[in-house]
Amino acid sequence: MTQSTPDAELSFFKRIPIAFGAFFSSLSDATYAARVQALSLPPAPAPAAPMPVPVPTPTATPAPVAAAPAAPKEASADAALQLLALLQREARLIDFTQEDLSAYTDADIGGPARLVQQGCAKVLREHFTLAPVRAEAEGSRITLNDGFDARAIQLTGNVVGQAPFKGVLSHRGWRATDTRLPKLADSHDASVLAQAEVEL
């Protein structure tokens, strides 16, 4: 015995008795009415597919950028000119260095040189505090370990290999620990190291 399959393309007239039958059956049979209601409900939405977990894209670690070398500091020309002016005022240093001394004997130069030395020493005492770079006496044997301050210590002679270096301290060096140059007025022309003198 073969079972007939429902016709998906029922005509309007075939659907009329089905509709009336369903109407009256729903009024008289609660179970049937529930089945009709279930047929009329919209289909339950399909469960949403889980969102794919994004896979992080590996990013290349940037190579460390070497720090640019610091630009050399520009020395203050005004401070240098101011010091030169002080040395000229107290020691006549510019006059002494610009003088042609070839016609003078060492004995003749000795007196003026002493005055220049005394004037320069006065400027240094008044405007700078000086200290030796190394505390040892000159002529002492010292050892320079790895990491010594090459800005403050100069190696001379037969320099080969790497630290530690052993040698003789030929000069202790000098370091300025304080500077006391006078303040300049805005109208001051630092390029004038010594004014021209006019006797009236």
pLDDT tens, residue by residue, 1-19:
444 455 556 665 566 556 6
Contact 178, 193 (CB under 8 A): no
The answer as to whether 79 is a domain residue is no
pLDDT score of 121: 95
- CA 128 to chain centroid, in Å, comes to 32
pTM assigned to the model: 0.58
The answer as to whether 177 is a domain residue is yes
User: Which residue did the predictor score with more confidence, 54 or 188?
Assistant: 188
pLDDT score of 183: 87
Domain that holds residue 169: 133-181
- Spatial separation of the C-alpha atoms in residues 32 and 26, rounded to whole Å: 6
pLDDT tens, residue by residue, 144-186:
999 999 999 999 999 999 999 999 999 999 999 999 998 888 8
The answer as to whether 144 is a domain residue is yes
Tokens 């004038």 correspond to 192
pLDDT score of 1: 47
Average pLDDT over residues 47-55: 68
The answer as to whether 80 is a domain residue is no
The answer as to whether 173 is a domain residue is yes
pLDDT tens, residue by residue, 83-93:
999 999 999 99
- Report whether pLDDT(60) > 90: no
pLDDT score of 144: 95
Cα 172 to Cα 72, 121, 127, 134, 135: the distances in Å are 27, 18, 21, 5, 7
DSSP secondary structure of 126-179:
HHEEEEES--SPTT-EEEE-TT--TTT----SS--S-S-EEEE-S---EEEEEE
The answer as to whether 45 is a domain residue is no
Tell me how many domains the chain contains: 1
The answer as to whether 153 is a domain residue is yes
The answer as to whether 114 is a domain residue is no
- Spatial separation of the C-alpha atoms in residues 136 and 49, rounded to whole Å: 83
